[in-house]
Amino acid sequence: MRRAPAQNLEEYLVERNMRVAYSVPKHRHYMRSGYSSEPILAEAAANLMQQLRMIKQSNDDYPKDRIANILKRHIDNGLVSKGELGELIGRLLLILAIDGAQEVTQGIHPPQWSKPIGLIDFMKSLLGTENYEEHVRRCVPDNSSGVAFEDYFQNSVIRFTHFARADDDSGVTTEAACAAFVRGLGVQCNRCQQSADAALSVLINKNEPVEEENMTMMLISFKNRSKARNLCDTAIDADVLGCFPESDVEEQDTPGEMRSYICLIMELGVQPRLEVGESSPTTKSTLKRSKDASAKPRKKVKTVASASTSREVKIESKVEAVRRSPRGRGGKRVHPRYVIRICGCSPAVYGVVHNKDVYAHLLHTRRIFTEHARGQEFVSAVRQLKPFFSKGPHGRGHWYGKSGDMTNDEPDAMADGIDVGRPAGEQSSENSDVS
């Protein structure tokens, strides 16, 4: 976007040596600029961000979300286009998570931000300890046999202080992961990269040398849409992307020797479904397995009361499991994949989010009825104004003359939930939690 405030800020940052001017076109109407990978500058920025999070102001109820509030001001000035908001907020959450993990594990002020951190500590910081223990710790690969998440990654470490853009699809290979780990950067995938938006380098065994054979990745997809798709359609396949070398499959003889990887899907834009037009309090979905693997996902309605208000909200929780043959693709062996999907952007699912309203504003995800402050009878009146057309009664449109689906314009029921892939052929119990 070329709005004046954004362009002025861009020029100001270049002038102050905080942004690099790569090129100026002949017409000189604007410049091409960006941020090069500078680990020392990233370390200094981490110190400043920690100070901003720790200093409490009189008008600030959530000092730990101050970075998000600063970002919100610049987005309001047109600094970032809406199409890039999902990736930007996703990278912010990852940076806040690893900084929080460094503060907890090192216990010094300020920490050494570039020091490798345990992958499990990072996941606990990102999701919160309770969510990690409940959903991720016992998660197993969905596409082949394998051990639980914590057993496989108990000695794994992750290391990044900033992100850098990849210019081609080589950014999601283990060779690039080794170089990125040494430099301490996360890979911001090429704009034409299939499926993945970012990749984080993971050293599988911290007691072994930093080399390609000891590297794997966390492949990340950022989504800023109001409805979550089926888990099978959004999971990232590292073997399709060519993340691992061909020799990695040919040289392995036993399933236990194949390198595993993580697929993290961040459905940031999904908002909870509300009743009677109320604002949503902080909620947490309890995910239940379906009774039969061949049946449709069961829906369970849970009523949660906010700690600060007597209003109630109903959220439907459901689990969509990935069902694939353990033999892999056409008899060819595949790398075990741990799938984790996070729906929503609130304190219920992220340990680094404290005020969900700030992030909803950043993501521009809340629709008309999500924030409507009055009762259901007034919502029906607003629908009669026909702000959009879709099937269903109450003046929302005329695709169908009779009652139809009433949820087309409503937020998704998967909001504020964590979903993980499960192995093929697993017999689910109706009353057991997702692991």
State pLDDT tens for residues 39-76.
999 999 999 999 988 887 766 678 889 999 888 887 77
Residues 71 and 14 both lie in one domain: no
With 0.85 as the threshold, say if the pTM is over it: no
The token pair at 13 is: 């940052």
Residues in the chain: 435
On whether residue 398 sits in a domain, the answer given is no
- Residue 349 or residue 145, greater confidence: 349
On whether residue 62 sits in a domain, the answer given is yes
On whether residue 197 sits in a domain, the answer given is yes
Lowest mean pLDDT among 168-182, 184-198, 397-411: 397-411
Can you tell me which residue has the tokens 């080399």?
A: 211
What integer pLDDT is reported at residue 264 of this predicted model?
A: 96
Residues 27 and 105 both lie in one domain: no
What integer pLDDT is reported at residue 390 of this predicted model?
A: 59
- Residue 143 or residue 113, greater confidence: 113
Can you tell me which residue has the tokens 């798709």?
A: 229
- Residue 349 or residue 323, greater confidence: 349
**What is the C-alpha separation between 418 and 118, in angstroms, rounded?**
21
CB under 8 Å, gap of 24 or more: what pairs does 208-212 form? 210/178, 210/181, 210/182, 211/178, 212/174, 212/175, 212/177, 212/178, 212/245
Q: Residue 341's CB: how many other CB atoms inside 10 A? A: 24
What integer pLDDT is reported at residue 375 of this predicted model?
A: 59
Residues 83 and 161 both lie in one domain: yes
- The DSSP call for residue 9 is H
Determine the average pLDDT of the residues in 229-251. 84
State pLDDT tens for residues 80-101.
Answer: 776 788 999 999 999 999 999 9
Residues 26 and 150 both lie in one domain: no
On whether residue 239 sits in a domain, the answer given is yes
- Strand ranges inside 287-420, DSSP E: 300-305, 312-317, 337-343, 417-420
On whether residue 427 sits in a domain, the answer given is no
What integer pLDDT is reported at residue 259 of this predicted model?
A: 93
Percent of the chain clearing pLDDT 70 (strictly above): 69
- Strand ranges inside 169-210, DSSP E: 185-188, 198-203
Determine the average pLDDT of the residues in 338-365. 90
What integer pLDDT is reported at residue 118 of this predicted model?
A: 97
Determine the average pLDDT of the residues in 390-407. 49
Residues 17 and 82 both lie in one domain: no
**What is the C-alpha separation between 307 and 122, in angstroms, rounded?**
28
Enclosing domain of residue 54: 39-273+320-367+411-420
Residues 208 and 151 both lie in one domain: yes
What integer pLDDT is reported at residue 288 of this predicted model?
A: 35
On whether residue 293 sits in a domain, the answer given is no
Residues 161 and 72 both lie in one domain: yes
- The DSSP call for residue 79 is S
State the pLDDT confidence band at 319, using cuts at 50, 70 and 90.
Answer: very low
What integer pLDDT is reported at residue 215 of this predicted model?
A: 97
Residues 27 and 106 both lie in one domain: no
* Overall domain count for the chain: 2
Can you tell me which residue has the tokens 């062996």?
A: 333
**What is the C-alpha separation between 184 and 99, in angstroms, rounded?**
13
State pLDDT tens for residues 293-309.
Answer: 334 444 443 333 333 33
Percent of the chain clearing pLDDT 90 (strictly above): 42
Residues 92 and 209 both lie in one domain: yes
Residues 30 and 88 both lie in one domain: no
Residues 30 and 45 both lie in one domain: no
**What is the C-alpha separation between 354 and 97, in angstroms, rounded?**
13
Residues 187 and 130 both lie in one domain: yes
Cβ-count burial 217-253 (b if 16+ within 10 Å, e if not): bbbbbbbbebbbeebeebbbbbbebebbeeebbeeee
On whether residue 380 sits in a domain, the answer given is no
On whether residue 105 sits in a domain, the answer given is yes
What integer pLDDT is reported at residue 428 of this predicted model?
A: 38
Q: What does 259-316 look like in DSSP terms, one character per residue?
A: PPEEEEEEETT-----STTPPPPP-----B--SSTTSPPP-EEEEEE-SS-S-EEEEE
